[in-house]
């Protein structure tokens, strides 16, 4: 859903100063200021990005401490770098061809406004105009004060006598005057999502981008972390963390220039995406969202997590449902009786909901494997003769809610949908089709296809008003990008990637207008989608099909830099049965807990243990979902991983500890783990929970420690090979 603002101008002259023709515009959060200033030619420069200053008038002086005028490169710090005038040698944020064929652009400061929005942020809009062409760019800076988060985007328009071609149209252009930049970006593929890679940026261009069209997080994540002034730790150093919030082809360009300053250009990937802009129809870019922490990565991620819960994630302050999913328990091999028999397992475990996964639909080409049926969203009559309403009723009778999987943007060529509407499919008619998981992508640029996708959801809810959950999957990227609809409408094919993303946004807006609260999981053939723009519509997302708990310790660690635990779906599965059930449940409890197991095959002892852990989870989930998270010991640097969550009052928390190195030489208990986020004056008691029957704990819950002790000396959870997973409740004593 789009944010709606109602503005009133709170600052007319206080936030900027005019000295002669020079205008200074500080964009401020509680701790960070980005300062823009015009030069003598009215070009807008970025003269400072760093800590806020108390003495606001001094912002105007910050640029004077820089000496960029030498070597003819005075334009490196442009607030929105242009292509096509000769004093800019850096990567452009915008490149255009005017209606008359001219490809130059100059953008001069015209005006700016600063206003408060009803949602508590401050929006600064700076208008830049070409002195020769009627071409305007508005730079938007939305500053979230106490959250310390800035959103940047641009709005591009013109009133030329004809269309303008936008060859590049970035959301944001930053310029940082720090030293020793270390970029953390994320590599991936199926079941290997979010693998961190640290690159020192020393010279030239480093680009992080997606060209997949959909499921942008699969090979590269839109998230990034940039240590400024040397590598940041969890608790020290200056670090910028954020994301380009675009569920489509994105590009993050990091250009280290001759001054060793860093020019960052973020936005839609211009790859195959020249955009024909009609006169007087503004093009709004997606948002580039970031925070800067001066106290290391921990603070940075808490800023983003809080901001997401407060302002981006759907129902960020709400509740979530624990669930039992049947995907790994049955795959496509189920029928009505089998499913109904699983409902009682969900109830017995003590979860809230049963989630029916892939395989429930299609008749002409039944969905019995991933080769057929996708697109034919009528219930498969031989597997489920009494339909979905019967399953919903039976689940409710068994005492659990019912949810369902869909993948409505996709189609198998072996489907009635494909046969009836080949022109609804993204494909090149004159070339062989290329499949990803035997499927193709529907053409969401086409309003008829948007209606179709909306109807898939709408029909499910109309038929089953008490349907309680949707898992929305998306497995294929766009191959052979060509749209019959765009062709018919005489819209350039180079609009395909942008209009696909906008089409999906339209559908999701309609879904949320009609069904505002029902929880929906964003899934994408594993964790292919997790951008902040889509999370406006979803309550949670699926990180990866890789549910090996040891891998998950690492993967959840990396996702946690950018997302709050309440948004992260972690399921206990049989992916790695050699790792104990306890370890698997403990790891999955650091987020939104679910199960994808054959509950009826659990031994009595395992069932009793699982039931108890779910009871425990229900007791501490509020803290994990809505509290503050601290990463204490990194699995990348230690033989253990330790993380804790603590409530806002610092009175109750939960600490998770895992053995991550099974070598004989590993020394998991060598040192205590220093806790964080406690009140040093308060006294705390530590109690181990999720103990498997018969396993005693060395942790004495009668002992009481001060917050000061626990944060300075630390606490030893005694992790070892027979205690490979240790969950400890912490609460104030007396
Ligand atoms: C990919 C998802 O990541 C899985 O969880 C499962 O829903 C399958 N798709 C179903 O086809």
| Overall fold of domain 629-732 | Immunoglobulin-like (2.60.40)
| Ligand 1 midpoint to CA 385 (Å) | 24
Q: Are 456 and 377 in contact (CB under 8 A)?
A: yes
Q: Which of 218, 474, 475 to mutate to test the pocket of ligand 1 (most atoms within 8 A of CB)?
A: 475
Give the model confidence (pLDDT) of 241-272 as tens digits. Answer: 999 999 999 999 999 998 889 999 999 999 99
Pairing of strands 195-201, 238-245: unpaired
Max CA-CA distance within the chain?
81
Question: What are 674's two structure tokens?
Answer: 């220093």
Nearest CA to ligand 1 atom 1: 525
Q: Please work out whether the CB of residue 358 comes within 6 Å of at least one atom of ligand 1.
A: yes
Q: Please work out whether the CB of residue 357 comes within 6 Å of at least one atom of ligand 1.
A: yes
Give the model confidence (pLDDT) of 38-80 as tens digits. Answer: 999 999 999 999 999 999 999 999 988 887 655 545 678 999 9
Which residue is it, tokens 């199960």? 595
| Ligand 1 midpoint to CA 667 (Å) | 38
| Ligand 1 midpoint to CA 292 (Å) | 35
Q: Please work out whether the CB of residue 436 comes within 6 Å of at least one atom of ligand 1.
A: no
Q: What is the pLDDT of residue 20?
A: 53
| Ligand 1 midpoint to CA 124 (Å) | 42
Q: Please work out whether the CB of residue 473 comes within 6 Å of at least one atom of ligand 1.
A: yes
Ligand 1 atom with the smallest distance to the CA of 523 is 3
| Ligand 1 midpoint to CA 217 (Å) | 15
**What's the rounded Cα separation, in Å, for the pair 164 and 433?**
33
Indicate the domain borders of the chain.
Answer: 6-312, 326-626, 629-732
Q: What is the pLDDT of residue 10?
A: 38
CATH architecture of 326-626: Alpha-Beta Barrel (3.20)
Q: Please work out whether the CB of residue 596 comes within 6 Å of at least one atom of ligand 1.
A: no
Q: Please work out whether the CB of residue 472 comes within 6 Å of at least one atom of ligand 1.
A: no
Q: Are 130 and 99 in contact (CB under 8 A)?
A: no
Q: Which residues contact 421 (CB under 8 A, 6 or more apart)?
A: none
Provide DSSP, 567-596. GEEEEEESTTTTS-HHHHHHHHTSSEEEEE
Q: How many Cβ atoms are within 10 Å of 136's Cβ, its own excluded?
A: 17
Nearest CA to ligand 1 atom 2: 525
Ligand 1 atom with the smallest distance to the CA of 596 is 5
| Overall fold of domain 6-312 | Beta-galactosidase; Chain A, domain 5 (2.70.98)
| Ligand 1 midpoint to CA 586 (Å) | 23
| Ligand 1 midpoint to CA 506 (Å) | 24
Q: What is the pLDDT of residue 70?
A: 52
Q: Please work out whether the CB of residue 405 comes within 6 Å of at least one atom of ligand 1.
A: yes
Q: Please work out whether the CB of residue 193 comes within 6 Å of at least one atom of ligand 1.
A: no
Q: Are 649 and 677 in contact (CB under 8 A)?
A: no
Identify the segments of the chain with pLDDT beneath 70: 1-20, 68-74, 86-87
Q: What is the pLDDT of residue 155?
A: 98
Q: Please work out whether the CB of residue 523 comes within 6 Å of at least one atom of ligand 1.
A: yes
Q: Which of 191, 373, 405 to mutate to test the pocket of ligand 1 (most atoms within 8 A of CB)?
A: 405
Q: Please work out whether the CB of residue 526 comes within 6 Å of at least one atom of ligand 1.
A: yes
Q: Please work out whether the CB of residue 327 comes within 6 Å of at least one atom of ligand 1.
A: yes
Q: Which residues of 102-124 are buried (b: 16+ CB within 10 A; e: fewer)?
A: eebbbbebeebbbbbbeeebbbb
Q: Which of 217, 358, 439, 544 to mutate to test the pocket of ligand 1 (most atoms within 8 A of CB)?
A: 358
Q: What is the pLDDT of residue 655?
A: 98
Q: Which of 188, 192, 218, 327 to mutate to test the pocket of ligand 1 (most atoms within 8 A of CB)?
A: 327
Q: Please work out whether the CB of residue 298 comes within 6 Å of at least one atom of ligand 1.
A: no
Q: Please work out whether the CB of residue 106 comes within 6 Å of at least one atom of ligand 1.
A: no
Ligand 1 atom with the smallest distance to the CA of 471 is 7
| Ligand 1 midpoint to CA 225 (Å) | 29
Q: Please work out whether the CB of residue 668 comes within 6 Å of at least one atom of ligand 1.
A: no
Nearest CA to ligand 1 atom 6: 327
* H or E segment to which residue 629 belongs: strand 628-633
Provide DSSP, 516-568. SSS-EEE-BTTB----TTGGGT-SEEE--S---HHHHHHHHHHHTTTS-GGGE
Nearest CA to ligand 1 atom 9: 525
Ligand 1 atom with the smallest distance to the CA of 545 is 3
């Amino acid at each position: 859903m789009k944010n709606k603002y109602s503005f009133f101008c709170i600052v007319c002259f206080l936030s900027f100063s005019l000295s002669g023709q020079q205008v200074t515009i500080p964009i401020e959060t509680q701790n960070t200021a980005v300062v823009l200033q015009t030069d003598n030619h009215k070009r807008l420069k970025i003269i400072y990005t760093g800590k806020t200053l108390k003495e606001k008038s001094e912002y105007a002086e910050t640029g004077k401490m820089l000496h960029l005028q030498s070597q003819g490169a005075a334009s490196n710090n442009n607030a929105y770098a242009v292509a096509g005038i000769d004093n800019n040698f850096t990567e452009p944020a915008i490149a255009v061809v005017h209606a008359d064929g001219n490809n130059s652009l100059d953008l001069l400061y015209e005006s700016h406004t600063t206003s408060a929005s009803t949602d508590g942020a401050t929006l600064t809009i700076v208008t830049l105009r070409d002195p020769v062409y009627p071409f305007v760019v508005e730079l938007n800076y939305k500053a979230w004060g106490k959250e310390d988060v800035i959103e940047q985007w641009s709005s591009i328009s013109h009133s030329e006598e004809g269309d303008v071609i936008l060859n590049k149209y970035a959301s944001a252009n930053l310029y940082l005057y720090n030293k020793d930049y270390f970029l953390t970006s994320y590599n991936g593929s199926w079941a290997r999502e979010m693998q961190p890679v640290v690159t020192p940026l020393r010279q030239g261009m480093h680009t992080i981008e997606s060209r997949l069209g959909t499921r942008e997080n699969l090979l590269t994540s839109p998230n990034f972390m940039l240590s400024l002034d040397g590598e940041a730790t969890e608790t020290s150093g200056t670090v910028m963390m954020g994301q380009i919030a675009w569920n489509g082809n994105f590009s993050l360009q990091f250009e280290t220039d001759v001054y060793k300053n860093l020019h960052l250009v973020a936005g839609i990937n211009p790859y195959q995406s020249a955009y024909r802009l009609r006169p007087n129809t503004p093009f709004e870019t997606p948002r580039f969202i970031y925070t800067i922490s001066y106290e290391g990565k921990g603070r940075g991620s808490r800023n983003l997590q809080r901001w997401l819960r407060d302002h981006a994630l759907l129902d960020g302050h709400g509740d979530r449902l624990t669930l039992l999913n049947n995907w790994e328990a049955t795959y496509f091999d189920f029928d009505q009786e089998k499913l109904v028999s699983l409902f009682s397992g969900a109830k017995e475990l003590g979860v809230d909901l049963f989630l029916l996964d892939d395989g429930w639909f299609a008749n002409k080409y039944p969905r019995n494997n991933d080769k057929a049926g996708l697109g034919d969203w009528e219930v498969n009559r031989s597997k489920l003769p009494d339909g979905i309403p019967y399953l919903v009723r039976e689940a409710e009778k068994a005492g659990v809610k019912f949810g369902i999987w869909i993948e409505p943007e996709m189609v198998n060529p072996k489907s009635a949908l494909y046969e009836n509407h080949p022109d609804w499919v993204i494909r090149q008619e004159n070339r062989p089709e290329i499949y990803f998981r035997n499927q193709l992508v529907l053409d969401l640029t086409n309003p008829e296809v948007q209606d179709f996708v909306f109807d898939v959801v709408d029909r499910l809810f109309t038929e089953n008003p008490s349907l309680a959950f949707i898992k929305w999957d998306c497995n294929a990227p766009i191959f052979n990008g060509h749209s019959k609809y765009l062709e018919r409408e005489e819209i350039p094919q180079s609009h395909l990637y942008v209009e696909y993303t906008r089409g999906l946004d339209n559908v999701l807006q309609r879904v949320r207008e009609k069904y505002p609260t029902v929880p929906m999981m964003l899934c994408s053939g594993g964790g292919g989608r997790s951008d902040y723009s889509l999370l406006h519509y979803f309550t949670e997302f699926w990180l990866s099909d890789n549910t090996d708990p040891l891998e998950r310790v690492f993967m959840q660690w990396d996702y946690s830099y950018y997302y709050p635990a309440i948004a992260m779906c972690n399921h206990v599965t049989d992916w790695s049965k050699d790792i104990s059930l306890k370890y698997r449940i403990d790891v999955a409890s650091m987020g939104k807990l679910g199960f994808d197991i054959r509950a009826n095959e659990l031994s009595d002892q395992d069932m009793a243990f699982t039931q108890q852990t779910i009871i425990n989870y229900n007791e501490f989930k509020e803290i994990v979902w809505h509290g503050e998270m601290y990463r204490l010991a990194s699995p990348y640097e230690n033989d253990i991983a330790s993380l804790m969550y603590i409530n806002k009052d610092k009175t109750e928390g939960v600490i998770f500890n895992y053995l991550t190195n099974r070598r004989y030489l590993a020394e998991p208990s060598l040192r205590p783990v220093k806790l964080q986020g406690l009140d040093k004056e308060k006294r705390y008691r530590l109690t181990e929970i999720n103990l498997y029957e018969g396993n005693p704990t060395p942790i004495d819950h009668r002992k009481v420690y001060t917050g000061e002790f626990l944060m300075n000396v630390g606490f030893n959870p005694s992790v070892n090979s027979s205690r490979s997973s240790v969950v400890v409740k912490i609460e104030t004593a007396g």
